[in-house]
Amino acid sequence: MRKTLVIAASIVLVLTLAGCVAGSAESGHAASGGLLSQLLLGFWHGLIGPLMLIVEVINKLAPHLLPWQVKFYEPRGTGAAYDVGFYLGLVGSPLLAGSGYRYRRR
């Protein structure tokens, strides 16, 4: 029962955070915000960047396969704070993905 609850909560969390993918209306609104919102949005887009790259390639090769359109990089994120956050997230995403394996192995 606990494992099912954890899986359901994880799915809800992922779907909630997926609303902030690059190219969405919510993302564009956040990109026009202040310095901190641009930094955090850039960091989030950098973390999910490898997955969004795969989704964008799928959209280019088979345009009607997926029901949504996403971008790898937010076109309205024009500030330096967004760029810094994006690159920090992009560098950190492989580290976060590999850190779980290292701790489970011990």
> Residues 33-89: pLDDT tens digits?
788 888 888 888 888 888 888 888 888 888 888 777 777 777 777 788 888 988 898
Task: Return all residues near 83 (Cβ < 8 A) that are at least 6 apart.
Answer: 42, 77
Domain coordinates of the chain in residue numbers? Answer: 2-105
96-104 contact pairs (CB < 8 A, 24+): 96/47
Answer whether 92's CB lies under 8 Å from 47's CB.
yes
Q: pTM higher than 0.85 for the full model? A: no
Q: Compute the average pLDDT of residues 8-18.
A: 74
How far is C-alpha 55 from the chain's CA centre?
Answer: 11
Distance CA 33, CA 28 (A): 9
Q: Which residue has the tokens 């993905």?
A: 97
